[in-house]
């Protein structure tokens, strides 16, 4: 029995020690291959060639599945909240039992009774958050919507030492917002999902162990 328990502990530790790719919430898939084009017909000697996917005066902006474009990430968020609550209540009661002849319970006659109570509440709360995320990422068009908008998604992995950083982005892009350099700002991406996650020794050191999380969740004190 003890041997089985030790084997189970080793199995759990080995699984926990493995570096896994962090889960994501961006639109899937993160890339797409171009849709097969029709084979080019024989050249007729004219400027316009039937079967060519792009015309002579067409720019190189992304507009088809499989095309790539660069998104400049510039996200700055700032939020703060502050609350203050005060409440108080004071209560005082007093009573005196007069002396009345001919009644039982003479020992309680002439006794004065009094009671006082006080309740107070003083609550304060304050929270603030500031986040800045800048960078660039090249994404792929994974779907062209019926109205012409582009659903894009992409991922960038950067491995430094024993850790790996994951930058992911997806969203809907209006082709009219894409500039001549085939780039667009992240503030112009609708339904944007931007992630920055990491895996490795440094990120694992910042996570509470599974056994500690178990006791933290179930202990009543």
Q: What are the tens digits of pLDDT across the range 91-111? A: 777 766 666 555 555 555 556
User: Taking all residues of the chain, what is their mean pLDDT, rounded to a whole number?
Assistant: 77
Residue range 19-45, pLDDT digits in tens:
577 788 888 888 888 877 666 556 666
Per-residue model confidence (pLDDT) at position 68: 93
Q: Are 184 and 173 in contact (CB under 8 A)?
A: yes
Per-residue model confidence (pLDDT) at position 17: 46
Sorting pLDDT into bands at 50, 70 and 90, what band is 121?
confident
Per-residue model confidence (pLDDT) at position 22: 76
Per-residue model confidence (pLDDT) at position 6: 53
Per-residue model confidence (pLDDT) at position 100: 57
In this predicted structure, the answer to whether residue 120 has a pLDDT above a threshold of 60 is yes
95 or 12: which leads in pLDDT: 95
Residue range 125-167, pLDDT digits in tens:
888 888 888 999 999 999 999 999 999 999 998 888 778 888 9
Query: By C-alpha distance, which of 139, 199, 132 is closest to 169?
Result: 139
Q: Is the pTM of this model over 0.85?
A: no
In this predicted structure, the answer to whether residue 53 has a pLDDT above a threshold of 70 is no
In this predicted structure, the answer to whether residue 197 has a pLDDT above a threshold of 60 is yes
């Amino acid at each position: 029995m003890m041997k089985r328990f030790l084997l189970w502990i080793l199995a759990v530790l080995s699984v926990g020690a493995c570096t896994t790719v962090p889960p994501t919430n961006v639109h899937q898939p993160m890339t797409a291959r171009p849709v097969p084009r029709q084979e080019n017909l024989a050249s007729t000697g004219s400027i316009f060639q039937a079967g060519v996917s792009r015309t002579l005066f067409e720019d190189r902006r992304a507009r088809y599945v499989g095309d790539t474009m660069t998104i400049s990430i510039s996200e700055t968020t700032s939020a703060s909240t502050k609350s203050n609550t005060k409440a108080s209540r004071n209560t005082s009661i007093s009573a005196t039992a007069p002396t009345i002849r001919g009644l039982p319970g003479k020992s309680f006659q002439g006794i004065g009774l009094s009671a006082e109570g006080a309740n107070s509440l003083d609550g304060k709360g304050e929270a603030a958050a500031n986040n800045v995320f800048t960078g660039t990422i090249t994404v792929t068009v994974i779907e062209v919507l019926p109205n012409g908008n582009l659903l894009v998604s992409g991922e960038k992995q950067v491995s430094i030492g024993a850790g790996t950083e994951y930058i992911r982005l997806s969203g809907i892009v209006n082709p009219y917002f894409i500039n001549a350099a085939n780039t667009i700002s992240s503030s112009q991406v609708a339904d944007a999902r931007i992630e920055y996650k990491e895996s490795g020794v440094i990120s694992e050191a910042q996570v509470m162990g599974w056994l500690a999380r178990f006791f933290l969740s179930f202990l009543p004190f």
